[in-house]
Structure 1
């Protein structure tokens, strides 16, 4: 079979899996994510859980993934270098997202940590290829740069929340105050990753905005909901500002980029 056709079929099959598992995660044919895994993935289960409205970003990501699936079937994209560079990893990212939803349905929370870590790696590699193959036009930038930038930015924050949920599920705690300090340390790492990604990819706004969105909703949740923590809330707010500020600085040329040819989206 032609490799380009096989790539398109792979993306489409993984998109179909993504649709099915999303219906599971939304509770249409399964258990809602926040109710699965004994509730440790709910918005009020851990110090690093974003507030409920944060998860609305998935609607934007899913629309982008659907658009990408259609885009790569356009005749102009069958043999396009950018489609070839991104297709296999794009399909893998959808498959891993589906796998994450499947394992959380059956309460395998630590397996879900491994899956989301793999998803971060795949999306990181995918964004490297997106940066190495500049967009050909506005539609290309929106469908690929925007979708996968937001996808990576959000999943970086979600991975932190996932690890915290797994720790809670295992009964891990070093005391009320120390738990807050540990959460602040994780947020510092998340902010550092956001800054590094801004440098690596030229301050892509979709990527930074998605990370800042998740961090901001952690801040809102800790300052207005349970478990309450002013320390964690303020740290999350600072982390969100740092990620956005770094993206704007690299985008505006105030700081040197790793890839001088990268164009922020």
Structure 2
């Protein structure tokens, strides 16, 4: 029964996220909440094209949900443990979008922190042995790895947006922006080392950091320091899986 619930829940969660994103009319996320999450809102805001990663993540999550109906997934202990957490992550993602649409930045921060915690739990679950071969590796390890890596960057960006909107002007300064980039990179590197060098999370985090760097080449928060910090951080994160694999 739970595989079917996971499939239906995934469909509902993605539909809610789609409607809330403004893709079918209405206000786009980057324009909601007074534009607090736009590409030029804070020093830690990724450039607009960075969000295209969601298309890959959503397609992967749809594939994951459909695969849950297979015999391999239905009889997998790893998948049994993963399903409720996966569904929770999807519902939290939809909740985050609606929090932004309701102009509740503090609510969006609370939800995305909870989402990040759920994804961290998922990464621990994925440490269990696989039984589904390459299909399971792509649809669970790959998809949720990208999901975790991107949400890690988004959590920092969202927090900076909330603080800036609340009038904490120091977060708009370059030094604190560089600090945020470094902390995000350190967390990503630590995750790569602890999980044995998974590639997908590092790719997604590096993608987000690289787009922060690209966005800082122009606009209100144009800064060579932020460009270099984001670029170097992205490169370090990309290399971090190699360190994790050497420690196996």
State yes or no: 1:200 paired with 2:194: yes
Distance 1:76 1:194 in 2: 31
Determine if contact 1:11/1:90 at 8 Å carries over to the other structure.
no
State yes or no: 1:35 paired with 2:6: no
Distance 2:181 2:171 in 1: 18
TM-score (norm 2): 0.95
**Aligned residue for 2:66?**
70
Which residue, 229, 232, 241 being the options, matches 2:235? 241
Decide which moves more: 70-79 or 44-53.
70-79
Offset at residue 23 of structure 1 (A): 2.7
Distance 1:46 1:175 in 2: 8
Determine if contact 1:47/1:183 at 8 Å carries over to the other structure.
yes
In structure 2, relative to structure 1, the CA distance for the partners of 1:104 and 1:175 (3 Å cut) is closer
Decide which moves more: 241-250 or 214-223.
241-250
Decide which moves more: 21-30 or 145-154.
21-30
Distance 2:218 2:25 in 1: 32
**Aligned residue for 2:169?**
173
Distance 1:175 1:41 in 2: 14
In structure 2, relative to structure 1, the CA distance for the partners of 1:108 and 1:134 (3 Å cut) is same
Offset at residue 76 of structure 1 (A): 3.0
Determine if contact 1:124/1:152 at 8 Å carries over to the other structure.
yes
Which residue, 106, 117, 121 being the options, matches 1:121? 117
**Aligned residue for 1:164?**
160
Deviations 1:134-171 (A, max 9, x none): 35311111111110000000000011100111012112
Offset at residue 7 of structure 1 (A): 5.3
How many residue pairs align between the two structures? 248
Report the aligned-residue RMSD. 1.6
Offset at residue 246 of structure 1 (A): 1.3
Determine if contact 1:7/1:88 at 8 Å carries over to the other structure.
no
Deviations 1:214-261 (A, max 9, x none): 00000010023432111112111111111111112323x1xx2xxx4x
Which residue, 46, 51, 54 being the options, matches 1:55? 51
In structure 2, relative to structure 1, the CA distance for the partners of 1:144 and 1:165 (3 Å cut) is same
SS of residue paired to 2:169: coil
Q: Structure 2 unaligned runs (5+)?
A: none
Which residue, 221, 230, 235 being the options, matches 1:227? 221
Determine if contact 1:117/1:159 at 8 Å carries over to the other structure.
yes
SS of residue paired to 1:214: helix
Deviations 1:96-141 (A, max 9, x none): 0000001101100011001000111100100111112335311111
Q: Structure 1 unaligned runs (5+)?
A: 261-265
Determine if contact 2:163/2:171 at 8 Å carries over to the other structure.
no
TM-score (norm 1): 0.89
State yes or no: 1:215 paired with 2:209: yes
